[in-house]
Amino acid sequence: MAVAAKGPYPKFWATVGSRPARRRPGVVDDCEWSPGERPLRVVVVGKGGAGKSVVAGTMARILARRGRRVLALDTDPVPGLALSLGTTARSTPPLEAAVDPAEGGCWRLKEGIGPVRAVQRFSTLAPDGVHVLEVGDHPVSGVGSVTPAAQAFYQVIHGLPEAKALRAWTMIGDHPAGPRQTTHDWAPYADTLLVVAEPNWKSALTARRLIELASARGAAALPVATKVTSQGDSDRVAQISGLPVAAAIPADEAVLESDRQGVALIDHAPSCPAVRAIEDLVDGLVDGTIRPVASR
Amino acid sequence: MKIAVAGKGGAGKTTVSGTVARQLSRAGHSVLALDADTNPMLGISLGMGPEETYRLLTVRQGLDDGTIEHQHSVEGLVEALGVDAPDGVRLVVGMRESRVDPGCVCCGGMTPQQILGELEEGGRTVVCDMEAGVGAIVRAGKADMVLVVVEPSVKSIDVGVRVVASAIAAEAEVIVVANRVRGEADLEAIRAGLGDDCEITVVPEDPTIAQADVEGRAPIDIDPGAPGVHALSSLAERLVPAAA
C-alpha cells in the first residue's frame, strides 16, 4: 500500500516545522554544569494506577523546595498531576487560547508564542513555586475536544530542549497510562524515563514494554518499583521488567489516604516512608548515583 | 450486546472485563473479548498467563513481516487475530500504537469505537476493555452498556464522573462498578461523587484479586467464590439475559 497515508503524528510535524535533527533525546548540554547542578529532565511513565503522578508531583515539590526552578508537565488529558502537586487542574485546556487553525485541519501555536512564552503565560503555580503546564482537560459534559490544545502542547514540548531561557530548569513530565505517548515522542525534553511499576504482572509487563520502546528511541529507562512490601516485590519488578530497580517506594497507607482525600502526598504526610523514598530517588538522580544501565 | 469497560488507569477495568467475560461464557453466551487498550493486558485477567499475553502483544508484528495477511474488514480482523481463551472466550487484541495506516483496518485505520461499532453482534456478547481515561468509545455511543470502574480515590472518581457523563450523553446504559471498597466510607465517597442516578455495583476489596495480579492469573481461576470475584460474576449474570 502506498505510504501517502499519514497518521495524526506526521501531521503534527507539519505544524511544528522541520523535524529536529536526531540526537539523544532531552540531553541538556552537561559539560558546563558543576557537579549536582545539572537540571533533571525526566518523564514518569507506567501502567495506570502505578503511582506516576504521585512520584512526579512529589519529585517536583522536593526539587522546588531545594531552590530549583521546576516545570511540571502533565500530558494526560485527564489531569492528575495538579492534584499530586497540591493544586487544582484548570477547567479548560490552557493552551486553547494559544492556537490558530493551520492547514489540513491541524492547529499551530499563534505567532509570537514559543515555548518560553507558553510556559510564562499558560502555566499555573503550584505550592513551593512549581510551574505546571497541562495539556488540558476534557470538559465534564464530554463533547469538547482537546485536540487544538494538545497539538499546541506538543509543539511547546518540542521547543523545550532548545529553549535557552529554560536551560537551568528542572523538567518533570507525567504521561497518561500506557505506551502511546512514549511511542510518539511526547517527552523530547527528557533524557530519562522513570518507569513506575507495581510488583504485579500487568504493571511490570507494562514496564517491560515501555523499557523496550524507550531503548528503541535511544532514551534511558529506570524502573521504579512502587507499593513495595518486601525485597521480593522489588526483585519481581526487576525480573519482569528486565532492568534493575533504581528505587523502591514502599507501600504506604499515607499514599492511599492522600489519594482518598485528594491532597498532595507531601502535604498530607511530609515525612512518610513513601516521600522519604522519593527523596532518596531525587538525591540519587541529582548526584548521579542513580543512573541508567544498558537494558538487557 | 456490546459492553464497554472504562475508567481511570489502575481502577480495575481489565479485571472486571476478564472476569465478566469468563462468567458470561460459563453461563452459555458466545463471548468476544476485545482488548482495545494500547497496553493490552486482558489476556492475564482471562487466564491466559503473562507470557502468552505478552506474546500476543507482538503478534501484530506478523503483519509487518508478512506472516499474517492484512485485513480489510472488522470480521476479518477478528478472524485473523482472535485467539482462544479459557471457557471458550475469544480474545482479540485490537490496538496498536504506532505505524498508523488509515487505509488499513488492521493497521490503525479504525479506532476502537469504529471496530466496536462495525462488529456484527451475531448472537455474541462483546466485552471491550478500554484504554485508561475518558475514552472516545463511550462518546461515540458504540456500546450498549458501559461499566464505569471506579476506586474510592478523588482522581478515580473524577474520571468516573466524566465517563458517566459521556456515556449518558451517548445514551448507553451505565453501571458504576465501585471497586476495592473497604467499607461504608469508601462507598459513600463514590456515591457522593457520582450521584444517585447511577446504578452502583459494589466489589469489595478482595485479597484473591490482589493475589491474581501478583501471580498473573485470572481471579476466577483462583477462587470463584471470593467476595470480589463473586460480585463480578453476579454482575455478569445480571448484564445479559440468560442464554437460551
Domain boundaries, chain A: 39-287
The shortest CB-CB distance from A200 to any of B152, B166, B214 is to B214
User: CB distance B153–A262 less than 8 Å?
Assistant: yes
The shortest CB-CB distance from A178 to any of B102, B132, B213 is to B132
Helix, strand, coil share of chain A (percent; to 5): 45, 15, 40
pLDDT confidence band for B110 (50 / 70 / 90) = low
The letter for the amino acid at A184 is H
Cell numbers describing residue B88:
471458550
User: CB distance B9–A177 less than 8 Å?
Assistant: yes
Min CA distance, B165 vs chain A (Å)?
Answer: 6
Residue in B43, B49, B38, B110 with CA at minimum distance from that of residue B77? B110
Cβ atoms A12, A154 nearer than 8 A: yes
Cell numbers describing residue B90:
475469544
- Mean pLDDT of the region B192-209: 92
Q: Which of A70-79, B52-61, B93-102 has the lowest mean pLDDT?
A: B93-102
- Mean pLDDT of the region A52-79: 94
What angle (nearest 5°) sits at the alpha carbon of residue B77, between those of residues B16 and A46?
A: 45
Closest CA in chain A for residue B97: A180
Q: Is the pLDDT of residue B202 over 90?
A: yes
User: CB distance A179–B39 less than 8 Å?
Assistant: yes
A148 in B contact zone (CB under 8 Å):
no
The letter for the amino acid at B14 is T
Buried b / exposed e across B174-209, counting CB within 10 Å, b at 16+? bbbbbbbbeeeebbebbeebbeeebebbbbbbbebb
Q: Is the pLDDT of residue A228 over 80?
A: yes
Higher pLDDT among residues B241 and A111, named by residue: A111
In chain A, residues 205-264 whose CB comes closer than 8 Å to chain B: 205-206, 208-209, 236, 240, 256, 259-262
Closest CA in chain B for residue A48: B9
Give this complex's ipTM: 0.88
The shortest CB-CB distance from A260 to any of B53, B57, B152 is to B152
Mutation target to probe the B interface, by most B beta carbons within 10 A, among A85, A87, A209, A268 is: A209
pLDDT confidence band for A26 (50 / 70 / 90) = low
Cell numbers describing residue B190:
463514590
User: CB distance B155–A83 less than 8 Å?
Assistant: yes
pTM here? Answer: 0.89
User: CB distance A142–B154 less than 8 Å?
Assistant: no
Q: How would you class A139 by CB atoms within 10 Å of its CB: exposed for 0-12, middle for 13-18, buried for 19 or more?
A: middle
User: CB distance A1–B104 less than 8 Å?
Assistant: yes
Min CA distance, A180 vs chain B (Å)?
Answer: 6
Closest CA in chain A for residue B45: A202
The shortest CB-CB distance from B213 to any of A53, A201, A206 is to A201
Min CA distance, A166 vs chain B (Å)?
Answer: 30
Q: Is the pLDDT of residue A75 over 80?
A: yes
- Mean pLDDT of the region B3-26: 96
Higher pLDDT among residues A69 and B162, named by residue: A69
The shortest CB-CB distance from A48 to any of B53, B70, B132 is to B132
Closest CA in chain A for residue B57: A209
Q: Which of A35-39, B51-55, B178-182 has the lowest mean pLDDT?
A: A35-39
Residues of B in contact with A76 (CB under 8 A): 133
A7 in B contact zone (CB under 8 Å):
yes
> What domains lie within chain B, and their CATH numbers?
2-239 (3.40.50.300)
Please state the length of chain B: 244
Q: Is the pLDDT of residue A234 over 90?
A: yes
Closest CA in chain A for residue B7: A48
Closest CA in chain A for residue B138: A142
The pLDDT value recorded for residue B137 is 59
The letter for the amino acid at A159 is G
Residues of B in contact with A53 (CB under 8 A): 155
Question: d(Cα A216, Cα A237) in Å, to the nearest integer?
Answer: 21
The pLDDT value recorded for residue A21 is 43
Maximum average pLDDT range among A22-31, A287-296, B6-15, B98-107:
B6-15
Min CA distance, B2 vs chain A (Å)?
Answer: 21
User: CB distance A178–B39 less than 8 Å?
Assistant: yes
Q: Which of A126-130, A149-153, B173-177 has the lowest mean pLDDT?
A: A149-153
User: CB distance A178–B215 less than 8 Å?
Assistant: no
Question: d(Cα A21, Cα B158) in Å, to the nearest integer?
Answer: 40
Min CA distance, A105 vs chain B (Å)?
Answer: 16
Residues of B in contact with A9 (CB under 8 A): 100
Interhelix angle for A147-159 vs A8-16, to 10°?
60
pLDDT confidence band for B80 (50 / 70 / 90) = confident
Which helix (H) or strand (E) segment is A224 a member of? strand A220-228
Min CA distance, B242 vs chain A (Å)?
Answer: 32
- Mean pLDDT of the region B106-126: 73
Mutation target to probe the B interface, by most B beta carbons within 10 A, among A13, A55, A202 is: A202
The shortest CB-CB distance from B38 to any of A78, A178, A202 is to A178
Range A39-287: architecture per CATH: 3-Layer(aba) Sandwich (3.40)
Considering chain B, what is the average pLDDT of its residues? 86
Q: Which of A107-111, A181-185, A261-265 has the lowest mean pLDDT?
A: A181-185
Tens digit of pLDDT for each residue in A261-281? 999 999 999 999 999 999 999
Q: Is the pLDDT of residue B58 over 90?
A: no
Residues of A in contact with B50 (CB under 8 A): 201, 205, 240
pLDDT above 70 as % of chain A: 85
Min CA distance, B106 vs chain A (Å)?
Answer: 13
Backbone angles phi, psi at A115, to 5 degrees: -60, -40
Grid-cell match 499530586, residue found = A84
